[in-house]
Chain A
Amino acid sequence: MRVSLFITCLSDVFFPNVGQSVVKVLERYGAQVDFPQAQTCCGQPAYNSGYHREAREAARHMIDVFADSNYVVAPSGSCVAMIRHYYPELLKEEPTWREKAEALAKKTYEFSEFLVQVLQVDRIDASLHASATYHHSCHMSRGLGIKEEPAALLEQVNGLEMEELPYCQDCCGFGGTFAAKMSTISEAMVDEKIKHIEETGANVLIGSDMGCLMNIGGRLRRTGKDVQVMHVAEVLAQGGAK
């Protein structure tokens, strides 16, 4: 099965290890991964900030880049939600583009969603000896309705103890430009999130969106807290057969 990786701008620039882990895991479960090099950013920062003309430029470009792909997989619920929900919305006035946007929306999957629903992976070959908790990112759990898939995968990782995160449905305070524009409110939100993470006693926080993890991780580091953050793909890539 041929799969095109959409790396997302954050993982491309800041967290290349997440992308490398995605490639490793997808290949381990039989996918043939390619990486269309003309890909850029999904355009969500512009869309959420109200710059819809600029977001439309990004959307048209990404639709073209992945036109020949059978499947597109991204390690981010948020970027996939952008493509799935807002590309068709952004391009609704242009029938040809709208059709193309819907085609891309249909074949684009979040990483854990793709593993469980398309590749139908039911046995995970990975091990990580740690006590961890999982952060449900808003756009993935509410926007895409993906809640069970990451848990189903993580539950099979050897040596990994998953603790339930209290108030797991609450936003971590990232919100893209919100974190910078409304930084004091965002600070109160991330501090409450960290309080709940600490209540679990976990020393690893696992998530599916590097935006959230960059926010929580950055605050953990700033406040001197010893909790490591990892993307689901990084966990699944640990200690596997290859």
Chain B
Amino acid sequence: MSVQPLEFFGRVDKALMDEQLRKAVPFTQDRLRGGRFQAADELGNVEEWRNLAAQIRMHTIENLDSYLEQLTDNVEKNGGHVHFAPTASDAVAHVLRIAKEKNARSVVKSKSMVSEEIHLNKHLEAEGVRVIESDLGEYIIQLAGETPSHLIAPAIHKTRTQVAELFSGVAGRTLSDATAELCQFAREELRREFLEADIGISGCNFAVAESGSIVLISNEGNARLTTTLPKVHIAIMGMERLVPTWEELDIVVSMLTRSATGQKISVYMTAMSGPRRPEDIDGPEEFHLIILDNGRSDILGTAYQEVLKCIRCGACLNVCPVYRHIGGHAYGGVYSGPIGAVLTPLLEGYEEWKELPYASSLCGACTEVCPVKIPLHDLLIEHRKDEVENGFTSWQEKLAFKGFGYLTSHPFLYDKAVRASHMATGWLSNEGVIETGPGPLAGWTNVRDLPRPAKQSFREWWKNEKGGGPRGS
């Protein structure tokens, strides 16, 4: 389900014309990818780390059923409740049921992309439950009535000045755009919410199967408050977000923080194993883990299986030249950038998402940086292949490529076509250049000039200069 009102090209145009976004996104992208680059440099043997992390994730995905069973057993042993949700609406139903049982009036959340995927806030609010996002970036976009435009930096598209305007609206007075003042204001506002909330909802960076633990990574401390102050803690996880043991966790967490921001480790890393025990001085009285499928198990065993290795670090967004210029909202789905372009059509189909696999120049920067070695740009090509085979491309394009296939395997005709190309484009050309092309060429010539095919192609020159045998000599 698109979370944006416009269709794809409308969203792209809107983003390209948004001057604030065009400044804000490259600014933060540079900072994040710069950090990642430095962290990789410090590791020295980053390729070995990537190989190891990729192996761990692949092993987990290939044995998902048994690790999920182990996780479930251990969470229950620790006194927690596990709910498996085949679809988004099942997950929402679990949360609403718990909220109703607890008579909850307000919920405080720490950052969770899976909760965005199931559009949880909307459903809670419809039931009269107040929802407060406690991650600073999420808090900003919640005030703006928007959705996250980046996996780890949800308000990446906003400038400091825009944030000051939003916060001033809540404060009822004019706040300066000094970062310290803005953070102080958010901290004061949120502290009250933490204390009043009936339920805390978090995501789950990784679950550890061997101990039934949930691990959260954050830099603001809000995840700890969300999961310890309210009486009930609900964690929602995608069914693939687990590791077998703490040993593997060590590797994937190291890769997650380094790839995301360049940090060796985030400011906070919190592991929770069930609700408060008698000897604990704090923690929730009840712990629920909702494990969401929502199309993931359908990806298992397909050509796209490797996408399930994703650890949501956002590194692919931070190096993507397309994301750099259009930001996250233009993609339209909950997940943006290269990973979003691969994942969204898998979870929600081509009908609504057929443009996404083409929103890439296939430069491969995403694949190169991915800490778990997902061949992202190759998976985009795989999508294009599936779109062709399932009738999502135009008949004109199909015909053109049919012709292309025929020409490239029939050298006599290919030779004739190359020779004819100069003459055939005479009517379009002006001083050896085509400035306005017809049909699909218009996309090219709207932006840039196209040279006219040369008067004498290379093959003609060769034949004249070097001879005409089959080997051309």
With beta carbons under 8 angstroms apart, the residue of A50, A190, A192 that contacts B447 is A190
Total inter-chain residue pairs, C-beta < 8 Å: 221
Counting contact residues on chain B (CB < 8 A from A), the size range is: 35 or more
Closest to B397 in A: A49
With beta carbons under 8 angstroms apart, the residue of A15, A35, A217 that contacts B472 is A35
Interface: A239 (CB within 8 A): no
With A7-B458, A20-B461, A40-B409 in contact, do A186 and B447 touch (Cβ < 8 Å)?
A: yes
CA distance A47 to B454 in the complex (A): 26
Q: Which residues of B contact A (CB under 8 A)?
A: 9, 12-13, 16, 321-322, 324-326, 358-365, 367-368, 381, 383-389, 393, 397-398, 401-402, 404-409, 411, 414-415, 418, 421, 433, 435, 440-444, 446-451, 453-454, 456-459, 461-463, 466, 468-473
- Those of A182-230 within 8 Å (CB) of chain B: 182-190, 192, 214-215, 217-219, 221-222
- Asked whether, in the complex, the Cβ of B449 is within 8 Å of the Cβ of A53, the reply is no
With A138-B363, A186-B361, A218-B451 in contact, do A13 and B421 touch (Cβ < 8 Å)?
A: yes
Q: In the complex, what residues of B have CB within 8 A of residue A171's CB?
A: 321, 361, 363, 365
- Asked whether, in the complex, the Cβ of B388 is within 8 Å of the Cβ of A142, the reply is no
Q: Is the interface of A mostly helix, strand, loop or mixed?
A: helix
- Those of A32-61 within 8 Å (CB) of chain B: 34-41, 43, 45-55, 57-58, 60-61
Closest to A193 in B: B321
Q: In the complex, what residues of B have CB within 8 A of residue A43's CB?
A: 408
Least CB distance from B293 to A in Å reads 28
CA distance A15 to B451 in the complex (A): 9
With A12-B459, A184-B16 in contact, do A218 and B363 touch (Cβ < 8 Å)?
A: no
Closest to A85 in B: B378
Closest to B473 in A: A34
- Asked whether, in the complex, the Cβ of A185 is within 8 Å of the Cβ of B418, the reply is no
For the complex of A and B, 4 pairs with smallest distance between CB atoms: A175-B361, A54-B405, A50-B384, A180-B443
Q: Hey, what's the 0/1 contact readout for A141-173 against B, CB within 8 Å counting as 1?
A: 011000000000000000000000000011101
- Asked whether, in the complex, the Cβ of B358 is within 8 Å of the Cβ of A142, the reply is no
CA distance A241 to B472 in the complex (A): 25
Least CB distance from A193 to B in Å reads 9
CA distance A48 to B409 in the complex (A): 18
Q: Hey, what's the 0/1 contact readout for A51-86 against B, CB within 8 Å counting as 1?
A: 111110110110001001000000000000000000
- Asked whether, in the complex, the Cβ of B409 is within 8 Å of the Cβ of A178, the reply is no
Q: In the complex, what residues of A have CB within 8 A of residue B442's CB?
A: 180
Q: Would you give 8 A-B contacts (Cβ < 8 Å), ordered by A?
A: A14-B453, A15-B454, A15-B458, A18-B458, A36-B470, A41-B414, A50-B385, A192-B324
With beta carbons under 8 angstroms apart, the residue of A20, A57, A187 that contacts B405 is A57
- Asked whether, in the complex, the Cβ of B364 is within 8 Å of the Cβ of A185, the reply is no
- Asked whether, in the complex, the Cβ of B418 is within 8 Å of the Cβ of A188, the reply is no
Q: In the complex, what residues of B have CB within 8 A of residue A12's CB?
A: 418, 457-459
- Asked whether, in the complex, the Cβ of B408 is within 8 Å of the Cβ of A40, the reply is yes
- Asked whether, in the complex, the Cβ of B326 is within 8 Å of the Cβ of A185, the reply is yes
- Asked whether, in the complex, the Cβ of A173 is within 8 Å of the Cβ of B365, the reply is no
Interface: A174 (CB within 8 A): yes
With beta carbons under 8 angstroms apart, the residue of B362, B435, B466, B472 that contacts A175 is B362
- Asked whether, in the complex, the Cβ of B388 is within 8 Å of the Cβ of A14, the reply is no
With A13-B453, A189-B321, A221-B433 in contact, do A35 and B462 touch (Cβ < 8 Å)?
A: yes
Least CB distance from B382 to A in Å reads 8
Least CB distance from A197 to B in Å reads 14
Q: In the complex, what residues of A have CB within 8 A of residue B453's CB?
A: 13-14
With A13-B454, A61-B408 in contact, do A179 and B443 touch (Cβ < 8 Å)?
A: yes
Q: In the complex, what residues of B have CB within 8 A of residue A40's CB?
A: 407-409, 411, 414
- Asked whether, in the complex, the Cβ of B448 is within 8 Å of the Cβ of A190, the reply is yes
Q: List 8 other contacts, CB 8 Å, given A54-B405, A189-B321.
A: A13-B454, A35-B459, A54-B408, A138-B362, A169-B365, A187-B448, A218-B447, A218-B450
Interface: A135 (CB within 8 A): no
With beta carbons under 8 angstroms apart, the residue of B401, B406, B454 that contacts A14 is B454
- Asked whether, in the complex, the Cβ of B444 is within 8 Å of the Cβ of A180, the reply is yes
Q: In the complex, what residues of B have CB within 8 A of residue A182's CB?
A: 12, 322, 358-359
Interface: A231 (CB within 8 A): no
- Asked whether, in the complex, the Cβ of B408 is within 8 Å of the Cβ of A41, the reply is yes
- Asked whether, in the complex, the Cβ of A51 is within 8 Å of the Cβ of B443, the reply is no
Least CB distance from A11 to B in Å reads 6
Q: Hey, what's the 0/1 contact readout for A1-36 against B, CB within 8 Å counting as 1?
A: 000100101011111101110000000000000111
Q: In the complex, what residues of A have CB within 8 A of residue B9's CB?
A: 184
With beta carbons under 8 angstroms apart, the residue of A46, A52, A54, A139 that contacts B364 is A139
Interface: A181 (CB within 8 A): yes
- Asked whether, in the complex, the Cβ of A178 is within 8 Å of the Cβ of B362, the reply is yes
CA distance A4 to B443 in the complex (A): 35
Closest to A171 in B: B363
- Asked whether, in the complex, the Cβ of B458 is within 8 Å of the Cβ of A11, the reply is yes
Interface: A240 (CB within 8 A): no
- Asked whether, in the complex, the Cβ of A214 is within 8 Å of the Cβ of B451, the reply is yes
With beta carbons under 8 angstroms apart, the residue of B322, B393, B449 that contacts A185 is B322
- Asked whether, in the complex, the Cβ of B451 is within 8 Å of the Cβ of A189, the reply is no
With beta carbons under 8 angstroms apart, the residue of A48, A214, A215 that contacts B362 is A48
